Amino acid sequence: MAQGLDLQGRHALVTGGGRGIGAAIARQLLDAGASVTLVGRDGAALDAAAGALASHVVAGAALGIAPADITDVDAVAGAFAAATSARGPVTVLVNNAGQAVSAPFGKTDLALWQRMLDVNLTGTFVCTQAALPAMLDAGWGRIVNVASTAGLTGYGYVSAYCAAKHGVIGLTRALALELAAKGITVNAVCPGYTETDIVRDAVANIVAKTGRTQAEARAELSARNPQKRLVQPEEVADAVAWLCRPAASAMTGQALPVAGGEVMAG
Q: Mean pLDDT across the stretch 122-144?
A: 98
pLDDT digits (tens, 9 = 90+) for 199-257: 777 778 787 888 888 888 888 888 889 999 999 999 999 999 999 999 999 999 999 99
CA–CA separation, 94 vs 188, rounded Å?
9
pLDDT digits (tens, 9 = 90+) for 181-212: 999 999 999 999 888 777 777 778 787 888 88
Question: What pLDDT was estimated at residue 2?
Answer: 41
For the chain, which residues make up each domain, given as ranges?
11-191+232-252, 193-230
In this prediction, residue 1 has a pLDDT band, given cuts at 50, 70 and 90, of: very low
pLDDT digits (tens, 9 = 90+) for 67-105: 999 999 999 999 999 999 999 999 999 999 999 999 999
Task: Name every residue whose Cβ is closer than 8 Å to that of residue 214 and which is 6 or more positions away in sequence.
Answer: 203, 207
Tell me whether residue 161 is one of the annotated catalytic residues. yes
Task: Name every residue whose Cβ is closer than 8 Å to that of residue 198 and which is 6 or more positions away in sequence.
Answer: 20, 98, 99, 100
CATH for 11-191+232-252? 3.40.50.720
Helices (H) and strands (E) in the chain — how many of each? 9, 7
Provide the whole-model pTM: 0.93
Indicate which residue of 155, 157, 161, 193 is catalytic. 161
- What percentage of the chain exceeds 70 in pLDDT? 98
